Amino acid sequence: MKQGGSTTASVVPESGNGIGLSVVDTPPHKEEVDWKLEQAREQLLTLRRQQDELERQKADLEELRRKQEEYARGKIEMIDHLTRGLVTIEQEQIKSQRLAELCGTTHEAFHDYLEQLQALNDEEWSSTSVRAELSRALGLIENSRLEYNRARTRLDCLNPAAGQPQPTVEPAPTESTDWSEIVRWMRLGAAASAPLILAGTIWVILLLTIKH
């Protein structure tokens, strides 16, 4: 230390990029002061650059951590959603397959009954076959009615009003029956019964003749 000089704290470089503080003698000349000042300014710029770099690294690390958290959270969320969605879709596929099978069998049954009903021609029934034909036709109508009502309970498409099931198909009430149709059936019945009545009458006459 020189005599007559004062001491001051100045920034001096350490090894590497670090800096340190040391107490040195105040330089007596202006050139030395300027040189020391320039060194201090350079050290401050270096520190600022290092601070900026640390801030940038900090921001990068924070962004990386945010993405990692978003990745972990999003992975768990979408695995759960997709798993549930697959289960729901598989259930709907099973329902759709069953519905397709049901629609196929119902379509075939409806088509078959429709053809049989349309093929009925009561105008061609003779007096001798009217009873058998009528019984067969009524059985066909009842079977088709049962098939239709059974299909309506299983297929929503047969219920136009959603949530409000249609009343089951019942036989037409007597009040709405066509009287001309009744008269025609009565004539067919009388024609079918006439041979029996005639035979019975002849049989009674023969019995009376034999007794006398």
Nearest Cα residue to 141 out of 152, 130, 153, 133: 133
Task: Centre a 10 Å sphere on the Cβ of residue 137 and count the other Cβ atoms it contains.
Answer: 15
> Could you give the angle at which helices 30-119 and 130-154 cross, rounded to 10 degrees?
170
How far, in Å, are 53, 83, 209 from residue 73 at the CA level? 30, 16, 111
The average confidence (pLDDT) of the chain is: 78
> Of 23-37, 82-96, 144-158, which gets the smallest average pLDDT?
23-37
- Judge whether residue 106 has pLDDT over 90: yes
Q: Could you tell me the pTM of the whole model?
A: 0.47
Cα dist from 124 to 118, 119, 138, whole Å? 14, 11, 16
Q: What is the mean pLDDT of residues 9-32?
A: 54
User: With bands split at pLDDT 50, 70 and 90, how would you rate the model's confidence at 60?
Assistant: very high
Q: What is the pLDDT of residue 117?
A: 92
Query: Per-residue DSSP letters for 55-72?
Result: HHHHHHHHHHHHHHHHHH
Ranges of each domain in the chain: 120-161
Alpha helices in 120-177 (DSSP H): 130-154
